[in-house]
Amino acid sequence: MPDTDDKNLMRIAQDLKVEQLGHKRSIPPLQDWQPKHCGKMDLIIKSNGEWWHEGQLIRRQALLDLFSSVLWKEQGQYYLKTPVEKIEITVEDVPLLITEADQIELNGKSYIQLKTGHGDVVIVDQEHPIEMREYLGELRPYVHIRFGLDALIQRAAFYHLINMGEMSENAQGQTILSLRSGDLHLHLHS
């Protein structure tokens, strides 16, 4: 089975390279692809963002960026999805990490822009709000990216958000971070 998984991983990589030739960081039209489910692969995305295949850490950033572009979530399960196959993988928490947070100006308004370690860029808005959720007893900040996929906002990026916002305390003694992105007002509780 490991040999089969390794061949599947390399075949997926080759198919994706052909599909994305000549494109910069673009996400394929996964919503238009209806491939058959081809089983499960021994690929785990750890909660710290590391990708492991058959017990080996994948270190090649170009390969990670390629595979992250075909991540898909359906009915609570995660997949690598190509035009011809959909292979289930394991994700401990969420598959993506926000590594950068910036403020940008668009049409005279200030927006929060977040970027994943794989090059996905989102503007915090109604479709991509920041929310606090618990993971293993710890409250952590997340943002929706695409296709049901969320990203954890890493600590350094979250510190940038703290500098962009205003901190206050409510009557219950909870710390609240208030942020504004365009017309969206967020109030994140600790």
Q: pLDDT for 64-121, tens place per residue?
A: 999 999 999 999 999 999 999 999 999 999 999 999 999 999 888 999 999 999 999 9
Rounded alpha-carbon distances, angstroms, from residue 157 to 58, 74, 112: 24, 28, 11
> What value does the mean pLDDT take over residues 56-71?
95
Q: Which of 144, 105, 110 is nearest to 127 (CA)?
A: 144
Q: pLDDT for 161-171, tens place per residue?
A: 999 999 999 99
pLDDT, position 4: 44
Go through 98-113 and write b for each residue having 16 or more CB atoms within 10 A of its CB, e for each that does not: bbebeeeeeeeeebbe
> What value does the mean pLDDT take over residues 9-23?
48
What stretch of H or E contains 166?
A: strand 166-169
Q: Does 85 share its domain with 112?
A: no
> What value does the mean pLDDT take over residues 8-37?
66
Q: Does 86 share its domain with 166?
A: no
Q: Which of 116, 98, 115, 51 is nearest to 78 (CA)?
A: 51
**For residues 64 and 57, is the Cβ–Cβ distance under 8 A?**
no
Q: Does 100 share its domain with 183?
A: yes
pLDDT of 8 above 60? no
pLDDT of 23 above 80? no
User: Taking the CB of residue 115, how many other CB atoms lie within 10 A of it?
Assistant: 16
- Looking at residue 13, which CATH number applies to its domain? 3.10.540.10
Which pTM value belongs to this model?
0.84
Q: Does 86 share its domain with 100?
A: no
pLDDT, position 190: 75
